[in-house]
Structure 1
Amino acid sequence: RLILQSVGDRGGQVTPSHILVIGMGKLGESVVLHAIKQWRENNLSKNDRLQITVIDRDAQLKAESLCVRFPQLDQVCNIVPLQMEVNSPDYLRAEFLRSPSEHNDVERVYVCLDDDSLGLHAGLSLLQQMKTHKVPVVIRMVEDTGLATLLGDGDARQGKFKELHAFGLLNQTCTADLLLGGTHEVLARELHSVYLSEQTLDNGIAEQSEALVPWEQLPERLKESNRVQAANIGKTLAETGCSIAQMRDWEAGELDFSPQEVEVMSSKEHERWCRQRKQAGWIYGPERDADKKINPDLVEWDELPEDEKEKNRRFVRGLPRSLARAGFQIERY
């Protein structure tokens, strides 16, 4: 998902209608799957299909394997595999950039090759063919140094390299938090992302407003609160006979819990939150005071105001979608 976000949206379009992925290793496959998920989330018309062209020496085999593992892909997108090397004449001619219909040319390119030099060569070769057809080209590199310096913010970016963007794997993905936190860190970030999408600065108290910032700017204690919440999602789901699994069903994010399931899990989530707060030194009081660690919501579920109960219910109802966005799904025992 990070590599998809590495180029800002153009014309309000979150996901282009036609992307080109060069290299179908783990990263290339991940780019394809996340692009499809974004397309499904942002395009309400079921008739619109995402066009994906993939280039790899084993493109046909890898595309077929992907469709076998994710049979619902056919309902969402058209995948066109092109079997070629990036130094072949067919690649250098780059005729695949332009659609025969003239209405669906490639709008974004992701170079996901494991070799930095080969990846840069692949990106620059396409750039040569884009005299009038300007398309952002995102190149995977180990880190944003060395060859990636060419694609920095200097004069080169304002000239012929303007459409090239380096995505440094180490810089972008291998933060200490992600390395140490693993899945819980990914889920914690996703929970915060969902929270941000549901909040406005106008409706929050001081503590809530403090959380209305991107994850990177979030105070460490609030990050930790999200991590603990993420780590307990499995226990919360288990209360109703559910578990977390790697996503295989594209409709998984649309799962609906019954009202009874929502109530059970919401009350358990509130109990967990109360334990966490009390362990951190918070106490009950009729008036909220963050400095003195006083919170009026540190009460039993039955005594909790209805608007606070609804916050917990909203969190539970949103779990299928939140987990799906992070690459997981909910399964019933």
Structure 2
Amino acid sequence: MKTVVSTERSSGSDLRRGEFLPFLILVLLLVGGFVLHRHGAGQDGVQAAFSTIRLLLVEDSANRGDFVRYGWESLWPLYQWLRIAVPVVASWLLVRSYLTLIGSNGNWLLARFWPHNVLILGGDAQGRRLALEHRERGERVAVLTLDAANGANSELMQRGVKVFGGNALNLRNLKWLAGTRASVVYILAGVDSVNLKILDVLMRLHSEGGWRGTDKRSQICLVHIQDDFLAARVTDVNWLQRNGERCQVRVFNVWKNCARRLLSDDSLAPHCLVPRGVQPHVLMLGFSSLGRSILEQLAHLGHYPDRQRAMLTVASPDADTIEPRVHASFPVLTPNALAHGVHGHHLNPLIDISFISAPTDGLTTARLSRLPAVTIAYICTATLEEGIAATHSLLMTTPDQQFPIVLCTQDAVHTEVHRQINNYPRCHVFNAYDAGLKLEKNEPVLNEFTEREAAIVYLHFGQNSLVDSLAAQTRPRNGDSRSSVLLWDRTFNEHWFAAQEWERESSRDVVRHLHVKRHYFNQLEGEISEQDQRNLSELEHQRWCAERLLQGWRYAPNTDRSKRRHASLCAFHDLPIEEQNKDYTIVGVSRLLARARIASK
């Protein structure tokens, strides 16, 4: 899933080839003038060169008499040949550079007059898939990639996606494309450092007025950053503040998106496969980038309402190397590693994690028998071949067990291979290529309804009048149930865009975890008991604590956001009553949002 994006600014720039053509012709003419001078023309070299240019370009004075006067009569046949050859060669070079300029499809000059809604910088498999899905939604899409002539782009062209060849690091390229009022720009170079460079160029273009979307509020830049530290740098910096207008920059991780989707599938999520009161046990074979994100999302879920937390066993040949890295990245997974609560209570680990040093396709029956009963197994190897071998080995080792086996692939899987794996008993394929950036209604990368939900949670969190105000907004109007969808208020939009990205993402997580709550309390549309409401509120607080702890926040008696210290990082029963009411409020929001979601379908 990597895109070939050059970090060189000039050597690979197709736009500049045409600019050098006049200079090249001039150099050739100057060299010709010096050659003529050397053969006894009797003139200064520079004067001879300009005389040559004049003879070639000014037809009135270009006659045989001029050649006789300068003593160049023997060159008259050569001049006649050059008068024909130079325009032909120049035209050929111009056409060649123009064809290179426009790439395999589309026309750079027409880009100004063909406004597109979505611009994708980078043409890897995920970018192509994303372009097709946006196109299916009726949007105009343009893709800028160095590899425009790749045969994989032919499907994009057939579906009406414009593919342009060029370097995304070149400011002029972005002026041509982003200047066509694209409201959303995806940066999918595949390499974090290149993504950041492209983002910097794009923000410079925006600050100069070169990128102005069709709607000022919809100028959104989505950057694929895999490193959490770099992602924090992007979201903590106010990339643009120009005349009171701000360009919203969202950072996302394809693997995190995949893990979220995997754990939102009721048939493949561990908490949905066990009855209440039973601790789910996840077996992970291998520890790829996707596996790391699954671990993080399992920790994000925190403790369940029945006081159970997930167990995770990672089996990998390099487990001895992985274990210290995991505990360094996720210190909250280590027992007794957390700060004390209000009354000296420890916050329990978010999940129980253990490691086994063994080949992914070499787990023995005896080794597995010493583990707790497995709820589900995730195969998270680096390659598809290793994953298929590990899946087959696990099937042979556990013939009498019924737990699902999910092969989590990071590459595209051929349809026939996908079908054959699914034909095995209790085997499933979770393809990151299909799930990473897929624009589904229930959790898209960009979805107006989800954004409205998250904005309402962010802007009204903790206000006593929230439930009443939302109930008024979701009440059907004129008998039309669709009118109960939450309205997008201008004030909401302004405050939502002014928030920091981590605050917006936190509010989105509240909405994303509705499926976890729905699993335990599938009566969100109706009335729930007071005890269930309390359990649901505790679940939300535990999820919030898990999210903050994984982001590096710690408990402190007084909240200090600049130092990532928060007084609410403690057990639910240790919270002041007003803080507990916030979680009760979120429960009410979740119920009303669930109603609005149903009404919008």
Q: TM-score, normalised by structure 2?
A: 0.32
| 1:138-149 pair list within 5 angstroms | 138-141=406-409, 142-143=411-412, 145-146=414-415, 147-149=417-419
Cross-structure match for 1:85: 359
Residue of 387, 393, 406 corresponding to 1:125: 393
Q: Once the 2 structures are TM-superposed, how far is the Cα of residue 110 of structure 1 from its aligned partner?
A: 0.7
Percent of aligned pairs with the same amino acid: 17
**Alpha-carbon distance between aligned partners in 1 of 2:262 and 2:455, rounded to the nearest angstrom:** 19
| 1:147-296 pair list within 5 angstroms | 147-152=417-422, 156=423, 161-175=424-438, 188=451, 191=454, 204-206=474-476, 210=482, 231-234=497-500, 247-249=551-553
Q: Once the 2 structures are TM-superposed, how far is the Cα of residue 169 of structure 1 from its aligned partner?
A: 0.6
**Alpha-carbon distance between aligned partners in 2 of 1:190 and 1:111, rounded to the nearest angstrom:** 34
Aligned residues: 236
Q: 1:134 to 1:236 in 2, by over 3 A?
A: closer
Contact 1:184 1:230 in 2 (8 A): no
Can you list the C-alpha shifts for 1:292-329, whole angstroms capped at 9, x where unaligned?
A: xxxxxxxxxxxxxxxxxx99x957x99xxxxxxxxxxx
| 1:14-25 pair list within 5 angstroms | 17-25=280-288
Q: 1:33 to 1:205 in 2, by over 3 A?
A: same
SS at match of 1:68: helix
**Alpha-carbon distance between aligned partners in 1 of 2:456 and 2:402, rounded to the nearest angstrom:** 31
Mean Cα displacement is larger for which, 59-68 or 225-234? Answer: 225-234
Contact 2:284 2:378 in 1 (8 A): yes
Q: 1:124 to 1:211 in 2, by over 3 A?
A: farther
Q: 1:11 to 1:106 in 2, by over 3 A?
A: closer
| Unmatched runs of 5 consecutive residues or more in structure 1 | 213-217, 239-243, 262-309, 319-333
SS at match of 1:114: coil
Amino acid at match of 1:247: Q
**Alpha-carbon distance between aligned partners in 2 of 1:236 and 1:130, rounded to the nearest angstrom:** 43
Cross-structure match for 1:66: 326
Contact 2:476 2:483 in 1 (8 A): no
Cross-structure match for 1:2: 261
Q: 1:206 to 1:69 in 2, by over 3 A?
A: same
Indicate the structure (1 or 2) with the bigger Cα radius of gyration: 2
**Alpha-carbon distance between aligned partners in 2 of 1:59 and 1:123, rounded to the nearest angstrom:** 19
Amino acid at match of 1:50: A
**Alpha-carbon distance between aligned partners in 2 of 1:236 and 1:49, rounded to the nearest angstrom:** 25
Cross-structure match for 1:300: none
Cross-structure match for 2:369: 98
SS at match of 1:206: coil
Amino acid at match of 1:98: S
Residue of 10, 13, 38 corresponding to 2:301: 38
**Alpha-carbon distance between aligned partners in 2 of 1:189 and 1:62, rounded to the nearest angstrom:** 39
Cross-structure match for 2:463: none
Q: 1:254 to 1:32 in 2, by over 3 A?
A: farther
Q: Once the 2 structures are TM-superposed, how far is the Cα of residue 166 of structure 1 from its aligned partner?
A: 0.7
**Alpha-carbon distance between aligned partners in 2 of 1:65 and 1:133, rounded to the nearest angstrom:** 32
Contact 1:144 1:167 in 2 (8 A): no
Can you list the C-alpha shifts for 1:50-96, whole angstroms capped at 9, x where unaligned?
A: 32110122212212221123222123233221122224xx42x2444
| Unmatched runs of 5 consecutive residues or more in structure 2 | 1-259, 335-347, 459-465, 505-546, 556-565, 590-601
Q: Once the 2 structures are TM-superposed, how far is the Cα of residue 254 of structure 1 from its aligned partner?
A: 5.1
